[in-house]
Chains A and B, each alone.
Chain A
Amino acid sequence: MALTGIQIFKMTPKKNCKECGCPTCMAFAMKVAQGALEISKCPHMSDEALAELSEATAPPMKTIKVGAGENEYSLGGETVLFRHEKTFVSKTRYAVSLCTCMDDAAVDAKLAEIQKVDYDRIGERMHVEMIYVNYEDGADKDRYVEMVKKAAALGRTLILGCKDVEVAKAALEVCKDGKPVLNGATAANYAAMSEVATAAGVVLGVAGADLNETYDTVAALEKAGNKNLVIDATGTSVKEAYANAVQIRRASVKDQDRTFGYPTIVNVAALAHGDRTLQQALASLFTVKYGSIVVMETLDYAEALPLFGLRQNVFTDPQKPMKVEPGIYPLNGADENSICLTTVDFALTYFVVSGELERSGVPCNLIISDAGGLSVLTAWAAGKLSSTSVANYIQENVEGKVKSRKLVIPGKVAVLKGDIEAKLPGWEIIVAPLEAVQLVKFLKDLTA
C-alpha cells in the first residue's frame, strides 16, 4: 500500500536541513508521497527507514531482468493499464518453444527456423528473442540437458519449462550464465525450486492451479526472500489465460497489490497446440493485453511481420510521432540529375518508402518535407502536406541543389498534382501508385 506524506514524515530525521532541496522535512515527505522525489534524496535517512520506505514507495509492478549481455530484457515495470495514460515501458517478448516430446530432427529444424527471422524495422532489430525449452514429466534428463545446450548455443534468452527440481538443476548448470528464466515453481515444489533458481541467480516462474493458488505461492516465495519472479498466467484454457493476465496486471497496477506485481508468461503454444492461426490471434491478443512473454510454436516471417509491427506500435509514446529530418536523401547512388520523389517526415512512412526505393535499385532523390511527423493522408487532412508546402520546400531547398525537374508524388495525394504543377513551373509532376510496395515496378517502368 502507498504511504501518506505524514507516514513518511514520521520516518524522516526532522532536521529541516534543506539538503534534499526542500524547505522542510515535511515538504520533502509530501513530495515523496506524490512520487515526485525519491527517498534517497535525503542523505540523513536511517538505513532501516530507507529500506522500509523504498519498499513502500517502489512502483507496484517490479521490473524483472532476464537474459545477459545484449540479450538482456526488462519485463514488467508498468504503471498504467492503458497506453493513452502513459507509455508502456517493457515490450512483450516472444519465445518459440521446443519440447522433449519432439524428436532430434524436429528440434534441429526448429532451431534453424528460429534464426531465419532477423530484420530491421524503423531502427529496431526484430528477431526471436527467447526460446522456451519444455521438459515433459518423465522424459530423459540427459536428453533435456542436451537440448538446453543446443538451444543456448543460439545466443537467445532461454526459458526452462521444467517442474522437476533435479532436472532443472542439471539444465541450469549448462545455461545459467545466459540468465534464463526457470519456469517451474508450483505450490508443491516452490521451496526447492526457489533454492535452485536463487543458487543459479536466475528468475523463477511461478504457476498455480488457479489465481488463488498462484497468489499464495508467490506470497510464500516472497516471504522466503525470493522476489525475482515472473508469473505463468497460462492456466488450462484461453479464457483462463486471458482472465489471469488481465487480473494479475490490474491487481498490481490499479489496486496496488504487490503480490501480483510481476510480469507474466503466456504460453499460447500450449493453449492452441498445433493451431498456427489461432496461436497468432492469441499472440496478438496478449501483446495488447498484458503478456510480458508470449510463447509460440513457431514464429516465421509471415507471423513475425505483423506481430513485431503491432508491438512496435503498442509500445510507443502516442504523444510523440517518430520523425525523420526533412531534407534530400540520395538513394542508390543518386546525383543531381536523378529523378525526385517526395513524401512526409513520419518515420514509418520514410522507412517503408525508402526501403522500397532501395529495393528498386533506381538512383533517385527522396525529398522529405516537414509534415509534422504525420502519415501522408493524415498530414494532408491536417493541412500539413499541401501543394504549397511541397512547392515551397522544393523551391527553397531543392531547386538550387538538384537539376532533375521530375517530381513523383504519393498516389494517396494525387489530387495535389494540378496545384503543384501550377506552383512549380518547369517541373513535371508524376503521380505514384497508392502503396509503396508498387514502387519498384513503377520506377522501373518509368525509367525504362
Chain B
Amino acid sequence: MPFNQKPQKFNANINTVEIGYGDKAIKLGGECTFPFYTFDAPLENAPKVGVEISDMGLSEIPGIQKFYEGASTMAEIAKKAEAMEGADFVCLRLEGGDPNGADKSVDELVAVVKEVAEAVTGPLVVEGCKNVEKDSELLPKVAEVLQGKNALVLSAREENYKAVGAAAGLAYNQKVGAESAVDINLAKQLNVVMTQLGVKAQDIVMNVGSAAVGYGFEYVVSTMDRIKGAALSQNDNMLQMPIITTVADESWSVKEAMASEEDMPEWGPLEDRGISMEVQTAAAVLASGSDAVILKHPQSVAAISKMIKELM
C-alpha cells in the first residue's frame, strides 16, 4: 500500500503585488500554499531578496566594505547593490532621518532618494527612519519624488497610516508597506483602515514585525503562521497581502552580531556571527511565510537566494 499523499489545496491566494517597472519588475506573493509547499501546488512567484543600503553610508563590516569598494556616492552604492548576486531589489533605508540620531532634513533625504532612484533600474523599496512623526512628513515626499517608479514605501503604521497611505497609495501610485507589531489582529486592523482610506488591497505589502532569532522570534513564527493560515484557509482578504521582512536591521543589532572579538574571543570573527544571524533569521522567516526579505551582507544574499532557488 503506497503512501496516500494528501495535498492541501486552498481556494484562496495571497495577492500578487508588482513593484518596479519594465522588464525588471518583480512580483511578490501570489501563492496558494504554505511556504514552499510546492508538493501541494506550484508556487507562483519565488520569494524575493532585497539588499539594504542606508543614507548613513556603508557598514564597517569588512566583507561589505570590500563588496562596495570604489563606490563613494549613494548612486554608486545603489548600482553595486542592485548588481549583487542573488539580489531582486534594493531597499534604501533613511535611518539618518531619526530625530534622535543624525536628524537629517526631509529635503536632504529626498535628494538621496532621487539620486538612488536615478541610479537603479530595478525595483526600489524605500524605508523611513522609524520615527512616526518624521516618517509622516518624509515618506509622502519620498512617494512624490518616486512617481512613475512603482516603488514600495515602508512603512505606514497605526499612528501615521493616513499621511503615508494617502500619499504613497493614493496620490502617487506607489505600493505601500503596512507595518504592525507581531500580532495578527494588529496586522489585520491596519489593512482594514488602510483600505477604508481608499488604498487598494492589491497595493499593500505587510511588514508584520520581526525579531532576530533567539529574541522573541517565536511570536514572529506564530504571527506569520496564523496570518497565512487565515489568508488561505479562511479566505480572509484583509490578510492576503504578501509579507516583507526587514531582516538585516534586526540581525545586525543583537549581541551575537555586535560583541567585539576582544570581548568574546571564543566566539570567533564578528562578521561570521553577523552573517549567521542574518542568514538563519532570513531562512526562518521565509519558512514561516515571508514573501520577501531584506538583507545586507553579500554572502547572506547569495545563500538565501540559493536556498529559495533550490526550494522552488
Contact = CB atoms under 8 A, between A and B. Distances in A.
Question: Are A and B bound to each other?
Answer: yes
Contact of B258 (A83, A284, A312, A435): A435
Contact of A310 (B254, B284, B302, B303): B284
A287 B214 contact: no
B4 interface: yes
A348 interface: yes
Highest count of chain A CB atoms <10 Å: which of B213, B226, B281, B302: B213
B251 to A, nearest CB: 8
A102 B244 CA distance: 42
A116 interface: yes
Given A216-B2, A285-B307, A302-B267, A277 B217 contact: no
A308 B287 CA distance: 17
Contacts of A247: 5, 39
B220 to A, nearest CB: 9
Contact of B37 (A82, A246, A255): A246
Interface stretch (B107-115, B161-169, B271-279): B271-279
A211 B279 contact: no
Contact of A277 (B218, B229, B256, B300): B300
B307 A375 contact: no
Contacts of B300: 277
Interface stretch (A48-56, A59-67, A237-245, A361-369): A237-245
Contacts of A242: 36, 311
A301 B215 contact: no
B138 interface: no
A398 interface: no
Nearest to A307: B280
Highest count of chain B CB atoms <10 Å: which of A214, A219, A277: A277
A35 interface: no
Contacts of B38: 239, 243
B268 A82 contact: no
A301 B273 contact: yes
Interface in A290-327: 300-303, 305-310, 312-314, 316, 318
Contact of A257 (B4, B258, B286, B288): B4
Given A281-B303, A284-B280, A435 B213 contact: no
Contacts of A278: 303, 306-307
A437 B212 CA distance: 15
B267 A310 contact: no
A285 B218 contact: no
B268 A440 contact: no
Contacts, number: 173
B217 to A, nearest CB: 4
B214 A312 contact: yes
Contacts of B35: 289
A282 B307 contact: yes
Contact of A318 (B2, B8, B219, B287): B219
A302 B287 contact: no
Nearest to A289: B287
B3 A215 contact: yes
B255 A436 contact: yes
B212 A316 contact: no
B266 interface: yes
B312 interface: yes
Contacts of A331: none
A84 B222 contact: yes
A96 to B, nearest CB: 15
A264 to B, nearest CB: 14
A343 interface: no
A278 B100 CA distance: 37
Contact of A314 (B36, B218, B276): B218
B226 A84 contact: yes
B310 A239 contact: yes
B265 to A, nearest CB: 10
B174 to A, nearest CB: 28
Nearest to B2: A212
B3 A306 contact: no
A306 B212 contact: yes
Contacts of A257: 3-4
A381 interface: yes
Contacts of B287: 284-285, 288-289
B282 interface: yes
Contacts of B253: 435
A310 B273 contact: no
Nearest to A321: B216
B280 A281 contact: yes
A437 B255 contact: yes
A305 B181 CA distance: 25
A135 B94 CA distance: 53
B1 A277 contact: no
Given A277-B300, A289-B287, A305-B256, A284 B213 contact: yes
Contacts of A251: 3-6
B148 interface: no
B277 A306 contact: yes
Nearest to B275: A277
A348 B2 contact: no
Contact of A301 (B268, B280, B311): B268
Nearest to A437: B255
Highest count of chain A CB atoms <10 Å: which of B219, B302, B310, B312: B310
Contacts of B303: 275, 277-278, 280-281
B218 A83 contact: yes
Contacts of A255: 4, 6
B103 to A, nearest CB: 15
A313 B267 contact: no
Interface in A364-386: 375, 378, 381
Contact of B311 (A84, A239, A275): A239
B160 to A, nearest CB: 16
Given A242-B36, A310-B217, A302 B259 contact: no
Highest count of chain B CB atoms <10 Å: which of A246, A255, A259: A246
A314 B2 CA distance: 33
A243 B35 CA distance: 11
Given A211-B5, A284-B283, A378-B216, 4 more contacts: A251-B3, A280-B283, A288-B283, A306-B276
4 closest Cβ contacts across the A-B interface? A309-B214, A310-B213, A215-B3, A277-B303
Interface of B: 1-6, 8, 35-39, 100, 181, 212-219, 221-222, 225-226, 229, 253-256, 258-259, 263, 266-269, 272-273, 275-277, 279-284, 286-288, 299-300, 302-304, 306-307, 310-312
